[in-house]
A and B are shown apart, each in its own frame.
Chain A
């Protein structure tokens, strides 16, 4: 097994044995369950009032909003979860274990990222069980639901890479959280001015996260959006690896 996979499994295990990670996951799932039940209630009322003739299905009315809320929660949750990946190791003086073991800078970055992403995929999978529980009682647009889950997985991958990079530039997890949050906000809001001015197809729009997350979560799987998520993930992973490498040259 490669060093990256060994490290990813180890990161996963470390997250698994720490109570705070489960508390965070439980809190997020409770919030999403509350939103899910609220949307389901609205959907059922709508069906009742229209005699089951409502044109909006359960996927759009119930599933998409719940998964949309998860995407928003991830913008805050991932910086918190990822802040300790490198910064915590540096504070605990345990990063030398990886550096001295001859594990490459890229392998460390990918291993840490995979571990964090795996935990986020579990959260996404558990959230997906909520709308999927409706399968026996109503029709779901599984194509759109799959696209929505793909969007969330890619969203989580990019955010995990950003959190990892932020964690590699400081020894303070709090600062790492703040930096990752700032990057996330910039990615989300970078084209707000352009949109307000009515510009929606410029480079600045292309740089913004919602430009790519929106269509994917609506069920439109376009390669340009997949490439954007892949690029953001790869760029921040490369920056993380470079930053880890610089620790070998720094005091």
Chain B
């Protein structure tokens, strides 16, 4: 099966030994007549943070939307614990936590109200949803704003509420689309710490266009360009240099000024 994770990887790879929580098997998606994601295959195991790295338009968000069950692939399959997500959409209800690029929040509700609703939506009974809300409020450091309306919160707090809603139902897979986007350096640092802590209980896949950010919080990095996988490698000192070279080559392709520098 193409879920061996490395369909287009041109370099040597390290095969994850445990059974993957997520397998995407040659998924392709066209948007507005353009191939946004092209026969992409990847796998993520529990306890691992996989970063999708790429410039704007590389296909990161489209890939994550397909993984989250929000956008059906034209071809290929998304397998969650071996079952096809688009044949059994209910799998995502308990199995996936998703934070899109813009956190899906209801500005007119308080943080607590919104999180309890998200827990209920993901199938938790009322009592469990309330308990999970308290747990995630603590974990995401939202205690001081728990009764505030979401629309009145800063971008950093809103992003944390977005992460909390993705974690409430303790999903096997957490999907984060540019989780640190728009945050100040201190908030970014806290976000990295939060993401690093997630690997204890979840498989995590996140997207970013910053190599340093990917290196700081990911175990493996997949570089995407024009919807294709260009490089997949673990974050180790040797591999990091190679990842940087690939990423710079892509940037130079797009902007000759980078090549000149």
Contacts and interface: CB of A to CB of B under 8 A. Distances in A.
Interface of A: 1, 3, 6-7, 10, 13-14, 17-18, 92-104, 248-249, 251
B146 to A, nearest CB: 16
Q: Top 6 A-B pairs ranked by shortest CB distance?
A: A102-B93, A97-B104, A102-B92, A94-B104, A100-B98, A93-B102
A17 B113 CA distance: 11
A173 to B, nearest CB: 15
A99 B106 CA distance: 15
B106 A100 contact: no
B165 interface: yes
B108 A94 contact: no
Nearest to B102: A93
A100 B117 contact: no
Contact of A102 (B69, B72, B118, B165): B69
A14 B121 contact: no
Contacts of A101: 92-93, 118, 121-122
Given A14-B109, A102-B90, A102-B93, A97 B68 contact: no
Interface residues of B, number: 31
B121 A13 contact: no
B70 A248 contact: yes
B192 to A, nearest CB: 23
Contacts of A104: 89-90
Interface in B92-129: 92-94, 96, 98, 100, 102, 104-109, 113, 117-118, 120-122
Given A3-B121, A13-B109, 10 more contacts: A6-B121, A7-B121, A14-B106, A17-B109, A18-B108, A92-B107, A93-B104, A96-B70, A99-B68, A102-B92
B121 A97 contact: yes
Contacts of A248: 69-72
B125 to A, nearest CB: 8
Contacts of B68: 96, 99-100
Nearest to A16: B108
Nearest to B97: A100
A247 to B, nearest CB: 9
B31 interface: yes
Contact of A97 (B31, B108, B165): B165
Contacts of B120: 1, 6
Contacts of A17: 108-109
B142 interface: no
Contacts of A251: 31-32
A102 B97 CA distance: 10
Contacts of A103: 93, 121
A95 B94 CA distance: 18
A87 to B, nearest CB: 15
B109 A100 contact: no
A102 B91 contact: yes
Contacts of B90: 102, 104
